């Protein structure tokens, strides 16, 4: 059965519409193959898209240095001693003041 799409060419290019059509056909095939399948269980992504989304684009591993939190705080206090470190109501402490109280 032929499927025809009418779309706003100023909003979508042919490749985008073809991709949407491919997804639509994929969903229809899944519904026909397994009529009892829950809608939430329908695969909307291709295997390649799922791999890209869950693995490639999700590779956000960032190397972390060996410094501990206290060491990082000490470094920040040395780098910007007069910068505001904490504020509570009308009181504020600089990194130097907070570091002095912590030690």
In contact, 43 and 30? CB cutoff 8 Å: yes
- Report, in angstroms and rounded to the nearest whole number, the Rg of the chain calculated over CA atoms: 28
Share of the chain above pLDDT 90, in %: 68
How far apart are alpha carbons 24 and 5 in whole angstroms? 11
> pLDDT band at residue 46, thresholds of 50, 70 and 90?
confident
Task: Give per-residue pLDDT as tens, 62-87.
Answer: 887 888 999 999 999 999 999 999 99
Helix axes 69-79, 95-102, angle to 10 degrees: 140
> What's the pLDDT at 81?
96
How far apart are alpha carbons 59 and 78 in whole angstroms? 33
- Which residue, 65, 64, 84, is CA-closest to 76? 84
- Which residue, 58, 49, 3, is CA-closest to 25? 3
Q: Give the start-to-end residue ranges of the domains of the chain.
A: 14-56, 69-102
Which contiguous run of DSSP H or E holds residue 41?
Answer: none
pTM of the model: 0.49
């Amino acid at each position: 059965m032929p499927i025809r799409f009418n779309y706003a060419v100023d909003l979508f290019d042919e490749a985008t519409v073809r991709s949407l059509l491919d997804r639509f056909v994929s969903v229809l095939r899944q519904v026909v193959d397994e009529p009892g399948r829950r809608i939430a269980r329908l695969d909307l992504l291709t295997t390649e898209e799922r791999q890209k989304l869950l693995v490639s684009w999700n590779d956000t591993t960032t190397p972390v240095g060996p410094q501990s939190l206290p060491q990082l705080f000490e470094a920040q206090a040395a780098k910007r001693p007069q910068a505001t470190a904490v504020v509570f109501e009308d009181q504020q402490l600089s990194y130097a003041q907070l570091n002095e109280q912590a030690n």
